[in-house]
């Protein structure tokens, strides 16, 4: 009996000990490209705060107060781009310029007994041109008062900042046909078009079938402003679009009045899932001035594009409720 008591007490004491090394790291979810997408709603002030989670690993509660030092990492993104894309510089992520973010504090305080803490990062989206893919690279600085987790993607965070509004996202473009001007057969079609945020009520996409990773893509930006809609009897929202190109050299020409419709339905089996569809109707012409330099190619584009957005109404945080 005494032996059993000794063994039991020994096991209990061992269970109460820390089984691992307590290490500090970021908590981010990497995508297939190795960066962490951060979706943040654009607001009229162009500013929003993102709460970046930090965690202390281990089997027991955090054993001491920790002042975790965080700073911008100016080296990792360059190394990442060269290793992943090599000479395809057009695919490189760009480091987010300093005027578009603010780190309110150089440290994140994690109190004793707590294994998680959010570090606020303030983003300023006003006049941010999303022709480039921007990343804010952050790192946890080494310090004798804590141990950092050096596992890939844990001590460093490559935050791919993606502002969104009610109209941004991936549109199905299979019903949007691009014809050589004057023809009505053999259209060119892109499977999708991505609409990027300009401001609270505007997005931009690339004209026709312009490759979204093309080095010349910036010259083919088409901006859509969603004007105030009218609510129909069935609850659908219908409105007009104000559409223009940012580059006069492509001789953009709108044909007729562009419009949009927003419909919303509840999933028949998953009642907590709300599906919203935004459909835009467009007819326009533009010149391709890069495929054959010095010889513009005129295109006529017409049809519809539809974006589906699914939102879980049980999740309070909008950026997490939307299924990206």
Averaged pLDDT, 263-285: 95
β-pair partners for 158:
137
Residue 320: predicted pLDDT: 86
Q: In this predicted structure, what is the pLDDT of residue 168?
A: 97
Mean per-residue pLDDT of the chain: 92
Kindly state the percentage of the chain with pLDDT values over 90.
81
Residue 60 in this model has a pLDDT that exceeds 90:
no
Q: CA 194 to CA 216: how far, in whole Å?
A: 16
81-136 confidence digits (pLDDT tens)? 999 999 888 889 999 999 999 999 999 999 999 999 999 999 999 889 999 999 99
> Residue 6's pLDDT band (boundaries 50, 70, 90)?
very low
Task: Please give the domain boundaries of the chain with CATH numbers for all domains.
Answer: 20-164 (2.60.40.1740), 169-321 (2.40.128.440)
Kindly state the tokens that stand for 150: 């050096």
26, 50 contact by CB (below 8 A): no
Please, which residues have CB within 8 angstroms of residue 11's CB and are 6 or more apart in sequence?
none
Mean pLDDT to the nearest integer, 210-218: 92
pLDDT (tens digit, 9 = 90+) per residue, 157-199?
Answer: 999 999 999 999 999 999 999 999 999 999 999 999 999 999 9
When pLDDT is cut at 50, 70 and 90, the band that residue 45 belongs to is: confident
- Contact between 115 and 55 under an 8 Å Cβ cutoff? The reply is yes
**Is 60 exceeded by the pLDDT of residue 3?**
no
For CA atoms 23, 27, 31, 35, give the dihedral sign.
Answer: negative
Residue 4, pLDDT > 80, answer no
Place of tokens 């513009």: 296
Give me the pLDDT at residue 84, please: 92
- pLDDT band of residue 17 (cuts 50, 70, 90) is low
User: What's the confidence (pLDDT) of residue 279?
Assistant: 98
Q: Please state the three-class secondary structure of the chain as a single string.
A: CHHHHHHHHHHHHHHHCCCCCCCEEECCCCCCCCCEEEEEECCCCCEEEEEEEEEECCCCCCCCCEEEEEEECCCHHHHHHHHHHCCCHHHCCEECCHHHEECCCCEEEECCCCCEEEEEEEEECCCCCCCCCEEEEEEECCECCECECCCCCCCEEEEEEEEECCCCEEEECCCEEEEECCCCCCCECCCEEEEEEEECCEEEEECCCCCCCCCCHHHHEEEEEECCCEECCCCCEEEEEEEEECCHHHCCEECCCCEEEEEEEECCCCCCEEEEEEEEEEEEEEEECCCCCCCCEEEEEEEEEEEEEEEECCCCCHHHHECC
CA distance readout (Å), 147 to 53, 138, 238: 17, 17, 56
Distance of alpha carbon 301 from alpha carbon 316, whole angstroms: 40
- CA–CA dist 60, 194 (Å, integer): 45
Q: Tell me what the mean pLDDT of segment 274-295 comes to.
A: 96
Number of residues that this document lists for the chain: 324
pLDDT band at residue 20, thresholds of 50, 70 and 90? confident
Q: Within 10 A of 277 (CB to CB), how many other CB atoms are there?
A: 15
Q: Let me know: does 276 contact 262? Beta carbons within 8 Å.
A: yes
- Work out the average pLDDT over 10-14: 54
Contact 278, 264 (CB under 8 A): no
């Amino acid at each position: 009996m005494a032996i059993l008591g000794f063994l039991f007490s020994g096991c209990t004491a061992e269970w109460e000990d820390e089984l691992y090394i307590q290490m500090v790291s970021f908590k981010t979810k990497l995508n297939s490209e190795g960066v962490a997408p951060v979706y943040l709603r654009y607001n009229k002030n162009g500013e929003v705060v993102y709460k970046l989670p930090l965690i202390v690993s281990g089997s027991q509660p955090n054993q001491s107060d920790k002042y975790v030092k965080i700073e911008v990492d100016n080296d990792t993104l360059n190394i990442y781009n060269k290793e992943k894309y090599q000479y395809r510089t057009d695919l490189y992520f760009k480091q987010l310029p300093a005027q578009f973010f603010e780190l309110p504090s150089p440290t994140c305080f994690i109190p004793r007994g707590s294994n998680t803490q959010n570090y606020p990062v303030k983003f300023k989206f006003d006049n941010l041109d999303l022709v480039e893919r921007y990343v804010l690279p952050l790192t946890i600085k080494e310090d004798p008062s804590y141990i950092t987790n050096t596992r890939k993607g844990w001590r460093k965070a490559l935050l791919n900042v993606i502002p969104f509004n009610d109209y941004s996202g991936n549109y199905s473009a299979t019903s949007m046909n691009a014809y050589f001007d004057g023809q009505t057969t053999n259209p060119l079609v892109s499977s999708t078009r991505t609409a990027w945020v300009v401001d609270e009520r505007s997005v931009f996409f690339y004209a026709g079938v312009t490759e979204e990773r093309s080095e010349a893509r910036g010259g083919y930006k088409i901006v859509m402003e969603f004007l105030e809609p009218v609510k129909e009897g069935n609850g659908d929202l219908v409105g007009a679009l104000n559409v223009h190109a940012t580059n006069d050299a492509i001789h953009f020409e709108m044909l007729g009045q562009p419009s949009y419709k927003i419909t919303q339905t509840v999933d028949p089996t998953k009642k907590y899932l709300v599906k919203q569809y935004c459909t835009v109707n467009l007819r326009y012409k533009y010149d391709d001035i890069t495929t054959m330099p010095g010889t513009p190619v005129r295109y006529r584009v017409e049809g519809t594009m539809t974006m589906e957005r699914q939102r879980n109404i049980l999740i309070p945080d909008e950026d997490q409720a939307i299924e990206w």
